[in-house]
Amino acid sequence: MGRYIVRRTLFAIPTLVVISLIIFAILDLAPGDPTSQLPLTIPAEIREQIRESLGLNDPFLVKWVKWMQLMFINEPLNAIDSIFGTCIGDCENRARIISWSSRSPALDTIWQRLPQTLWVLGIAFILGIVIAIPVGVISAYKQYSAFDNVGTFVTMVGYSVPVFFTGVLAILIFSVWLGWFPSFYTTTHVVDWTSWESIWFQIEQMIMPITVLSLFNAAALSRFTRASVLDNLNEDYVRTARSKGLRENKVVMTHVMRNSMIPVVTLIALQVPGIFAGAIITEQIFRINGLGQLLIVAIGQSDVPMVQTLTFMFAFLIVVFNLIADVTYGIMDPRIRYD
C-alpha cells in the first residue's frame, strides 16, 4: 500500500502540471482584457504598457512558468508566513497572483470566502450523508415496504427537482409568506459562541440552503447505499451469521454495513471536492457569496487570474481526493491489493 501511495502521488504531479497547462492555455486564448475596463481615451501605447506590466505580452510558456512559480512557490510561502508569522525570503515584496478586478491578491479573496463555503456546504454535505445512509440501509433492509417506497419517491423528487426551484420555493414559503428565515446570507456575521442569539442568527441564515442542498445530496447517496446494502444482504455470509444465532442488529450493523460502506465511502470521498466548487446555483440564490459565486463573477468580469487560480484549485482537490478515495477503498477492503 505504501508503494502504491507513493507511486500515485508521484504520478499526480505531472497530472497537475498538465492540468494547469490546459487551464492556462484555454483561459489565455479566451477574449477578455484587463485594459478593457479603462476609458477609451487612453491611447493604445499606454494600454500596451499596462499589458506589458501585467506580463500579458510574454510568450505563452514564459507566462505559464511565471504563473507556476507564483502558484507553487510564492503563494505557499505567503501562506506559511501568514499562518506561522514567519518571514521567509523577501516577504515584503513577494509577487503574488493579482486579481484584475479587485487588484488584490486572488488567494486572499479565496481564503476570505472559505468560511461560508465550508459552513454551509460542508454542513449540507455532512447532513446529506447523515440522512442518506440510514435511509438507504433501512430502505434496503425493508425492501418494498412503505418506508422504502416513500423513501424512493422522496429521493427521486429530491434528485430530479432542480435546486433553483426548491431554493426559490423555500424562500417563497419561509421568507416571503412566513417570514421565518432571512433570504440571504450575511457573510460578515461572526459567531459569538457564548451568545445564543449569535448562534441562532447563524443557524437561521443557514437552515434553508442547507436543507435544500442536503436533500439534493442525500438523494443520490441514499440510492447508492440502498443498492450496495441490497447486494450484501443476499450474500451467503449473512445467512451464515443469522444461522449462527447473531442478533439481527449485529448482523446488519457490523457485518453488512462494513461491506456495503466500501463503495459508499469511495463515492463520498469523490464528492468532497464538490463542496469547494460549491453549489454555484444555491450560492447565487441565497447570496452566500462563496467560492462558486466567486468563480462565476470572475468569469463574467474576465478576471483571468482569479479564474485560473480557482479552477486549478478545484482540479487539485479532485486529484487529491481521487487518491484518497482509492486509498480508503484499499484500506477498507482487505481483498484489494494494489502492489
Partner 1 sequence: MKRTRLLALLAVLAMLVAACGGGDGDGTTTTAGGDDGGVDATTTTSGSTEPTDPPSGGGAGEGGPLLLLQWQAPSQANALLSTGTKDLLASSLVLEPLAEFDPTGGITPVLVDEIPSQENGGISEDLTQITWVLSEGLVWSDGSPVTADDAVFTWEYCSEETTGCSTDAFQTVVSVEATDDRTVVVTFDGPQPYPFVPFVGYTNPIISRAQFADCVGAAAVGCSDQNFQPIGTGPYMVTELRPEDTVLYELNPNYRKAGEGKPFFGSIELKGGGDAEASARSVLEIGEADYAWNLQVAPEILGPMEGAGNGVVLAGFNSSVEHLNLNQTNPDGDPPSDYSDGTNPNPYFFENEVLATALSMAINRQEMVDIAYGPTGEPTCNIWPVTGQVSTNNDWCLTQDIEGANAMLDEAGYMDTDGDGVRETPDGLPLDFEVVTSTNAVRQSEQDLIAVYWEQIGVATSMRNEDAGLFFDGTAASDASIWKFFTDIQLFTNSSSGPDPQGYLQGWTCEQIPESTNSWGGGNTTKLCNEEFDALHTELSGTALDDPARNDMVIQLNDLIVSYAVIPLVNRASVSAFANDIQGVGDLNGWDSEYWNIEDWTRG
Backbone angles phi, psi at 185, to 5 degrees: -105, 125
Binding region for partner 1 (CB under 8 A): 31-33, 35-44, 46-47, 49-50, 53, 98-99, 101-105, 108-109, 112-113, 144, 149-150, 153, 157, 165, 168-169, 171-172, 175-176, 179, 182-184, 186-188, 283-289, 293-294, 297-298, 300-302
Q: Minimum CB separation from partner 1 for residue 21, in Å?
A: 22
Contacts of 283 (CB under 8 A, 6+ apart): 117, 289, 290, 292, 293
Nearer Cβ to partner 1 (175/328) = 175
Closest approach of partner 1 to the CB of residue 207, in Å: 15
Integer angstrom CA distances of residue 280 from 16, 62, 121, 193: 24, 33, 10, 29
| Residue 139: closest CA among 11, 301, 252, 268 | 252
Whose CA is closest to 96, among 64, 141, 66? 66
Give the span between the Cα atoms of 300 and 67, in whole angstroms. Answer: 22
From the CB of 337, what's the least distance to partner 1, in Å? 43
Closest C-alpha to 142, from 221, 219, 230: 230
CB-wise, 251 or 313, nearer to partner 1? 313
- Nearer to partner 1 by Cβ, of 241 and 295: the residue is 295
Between 19 and 106, name the residue whose CB sits nearer to partner 1: 106
Least separation in angstroms between CB 271 and partner 1:
25
Q: How far is the CB of 211 from partner 1 (least distance, A)?
A: 17
For partner 1, which is the closer residue by CB, 37 or 86?
A: 37
- Comparison of 118 and 318: residue with beta carbon closer to partner 1: 118
* Least Å from the CB of residue 47 to partner 1: 7
CA distance 239 to 241: 5
Nearest CA to 201 out of 176, 182, 174 is that of 182
Q: Which residues contact 57 (CB under 8 A, 6 or more apart)?
A: 48, 51
Shortest spacing between CB 1 and partner 1, in angstroms = 43
Cβ closer to partner 1: 31 or 59?
A: 31
Closest CB 105 distance from partner 1, rounded Å: 7
Of 112 and 240, CB closest to partner 1: 112
Residue reference for cell 433492509: 141
Got the DSSP string for 240-297? HHHHTT--HHHIIIIIIHHHHHHHHHHHHHHHHHHHHH--HHHHHHHT---HHHHHHH
Q: Compute the radius of gyration of the chain from its Cα atoms.
A: 25
